[in-house]
Amino acid sequence: MPFPFDRIIIEVRTAAVDPVLSQPIDSITREWIMCGIVAYCGHGSAVSALTDGLARLEYRGYDSTGVALNPGNGREVKFVRAAGRLSQLLVALTLDEECNFRIGIGHTRWATHGAPSTTNAHPHRDCTGKVAVVHNGTIDNAVMLRTELMADGHIVATEVDTELIAHLIEDNLSEARAHEVIEGPDLLVAAVAAATRRLQGSWALAVTAQGFDCVVVTRYRSPLLVGESEKAHTAASDVLGFELDVETIRELNDGDIVSLSSRAVWVDAHGRQIPARAPLLGPGPVAAATLDGAPDFTSKEMAEQPSAARHVIDTLGGRLEHGRLLDDLGLPLCCRVRLVACGSSFYAAQITARVLTRIGGIPTRVVIASECTADVNETDTLTVAFSQSGETADVLSAMDAWPRPWLAVTNNPQSTLARRADGVLGLGCGPELGVAATKSFTAQVVAGSALAIAMSAAHDRISGAELARLQAQLAAVPDRLAATDEQVAPIAAELAAELAHQPGWIFMSRGAGMPYASEGALKLKELAYRWVEATPAGELKHGPIALVQDQTPVVVVQAQPAARLAVNVAEVAARGARIITVGGGEDANLPVVAADEEPPWGPLEAVIALQHLALGVTRHLGHDVDRPRNLAKSVTVE
């Protein structure tokens, strides 16, 4: 049974209430760290389970990695940490550790508080070295806690707020043992619970300690899942962290605490034992994250774009007439639409907005999530949030500020965004492990365009004949993407080798082509670390043309109005620019298989050529395609 990310999910959601603060989750601001947690307690090798899981979670951060290995039976917990990628941690681990440990916790970090170093790498320990903690999130009252703990005699060795949690647990264990209140695994559960009551902020925690043959996990406003199989109980930040034989995955609610040993014992925020939460997934393996012969995940995921687009079309294409899609989503037909997103998703949202306004005349605005406070709420507005991961902190914070109804367009139907939204359009792309968005962007454009067509039909803004024509145009997209990929890949590689060492680039277009030019520019920034200016061609004379000098690469995405765009191309060519045109014209340097008539969503095929150009430049410069510097896939910090 394939992993359910490979399915489109269309569900109706209801508002959630925070179990700890007893207020709607909508009102809580989230600030999460882009890191990955894995925990293991079972009969197999903890080292293998942890390192394999961290490898699959490395897209969440790769500034430093570490594990804490608990041999059980009261023996000393071993800490192994390394700055840099997981490969550095594997060097630090010795071969005999492969079979000595059955319990452990691991972490891969994207640094926010404290430099990316071995000292600041997780897991963190208490003064005794017996308590090990890994943490995703931010502790808002860390300064106060640090002052109090140091005044009490604790030696705080790092800059990281996570270490403070280990010291709090240390104090709680000492106090409980002094009063002989609790024994066994319940003692560690109680110590963790008491520590979290001192915290303000957000956290997903995994804790193990000398003298306890278990791992205790808990969360508050940060994702954490528990997995079960015949041989182990495990925990991870998301499903990719689990071993392939996981049978059931359950999500912790805010405040839940789970003790993982030979069984999983669940306790709520008030310390009362509760039944395990309902499983998110039934029996069946999590999809393996394998390259399948590709040189890297990014190029593999680029090649999957035609099938990703076809999957969305096959699922949504028959639901566009008479408002059926909105009915399936359980959403009202609103007069206005607000789209909110970040990064590549923002450009997909811009394209969706263009389709809504062009064919439906529906008042639509697009908001960068991090600037949401500048937006004005209007009645009868549907808010549509685009997020590949469904965990983007800025998007979630924007949703906190705006009234319902909300629609989530995401590749993760189990995400926080999906759970909080009133309706979900799942992309069904499968895991996207390259940090730079590729197939998820294309799927978002197709899903957003389908949504726009459905809303326009529901408002009676398009005729039956026009609806049929748009459906046919959309259905042709996957084949054009596939043909473009085959045609442009070798050409882009040659062009990239020629231009790789150019330090500054300009990307430009007009109309429906501009979001694709912006997305292509972002890919070159992310992967090749090149300074890139993306500008509407009509704005050249208002500043950007000052950057043009002899042989400056200017990438032009062909779009309508072609005649006006040609004038702008002539302007930069006259100043010595190296022109690279992307489109279906005979003179295109990067030819794509374009539609005879530009569809409302514009030249989507151009993104294939732009991705190949960025990929080629990146490879020529010798950069890591899948793991660009300073970036993480799931941007869960504001």
Give the number of other Cβ atoms within 10 Å of residue 585's Cβ. 12
- Tokens linked to 246: 């996981």
Is residue 428 within 8 A of residue 316, CB to CB? The reply is no
What phi, psi does 267 have (nearest 5°)?
Answer: -130, 140
- Tokens linked to 162: 């996570």
53-76 in b/e burial notation, b at 16+ Cβ within 10 A?
A: bbbbbbbbbbbbbbbbbbbbeeee
3-state helix/strand/coil string of 32-63: CCCCEEEEEEECCCHHHHHHHHHHHHHHHCCC
Identify the active-site residue in 130, 439, 523, 633.
633
Is residue 296 within 8 A of residue 434, CB to CB? The reply is yes
Of the CA atoms within 13 Å of residue 566, those in its CB half-sphere come to 7
Q: Is 361 left (phi over 0), alpha (psi -120 to 50) or beta?
A: left
Give the number of other Cβ atoms within 10 Å of residue 155's Cβ. 10
Distance of CA 225 to the CA centre of its chain: 16
The secondary structure of residue 123, as a DSSP letter, is: P
**Which residues face 234 on adjacent strands?**
40, 227
- Tokens linked to 445: 């454009």
92-129 in b/e burial notation, b at 16+ Cβ within 10 A?
A: ebeeebeeebbbbbbbbbbbbebebbeebbbbbbbbee
Give the number of other Cβ atoms within 10 Å of residue 280's Cβ. 15
Instruction: Indicate the helix (H) or strand (E) that contains 606.
Output: helix 606-621
Is residue 607 within 8 A of residue 516, CB to CB? The reply is yes
Is residue 217 within 8 A of residue 224, CB to CB? The reply is yes
Identify the active-site residue in 35, 334, 342, 372.
35
Quote the CA–CA distance of 585 and 579 in Å, as a whole number.
14
* DSSP, residue by residue, 200-236: -B-EEEEEEETTEEEEEEEEESS--EEEE-SSEEEEE
* DSSP, residue by residue, 408-448: EEES-TTSHHHHHSSEEEE-------SSS-SHHHHHHHHHH
**Which residues face 101 on adjacent strands?**
none
335 is a catalytic site residue:
no
429 is a catalytic site residue:
no
> What residues act catalytically?
35, 633
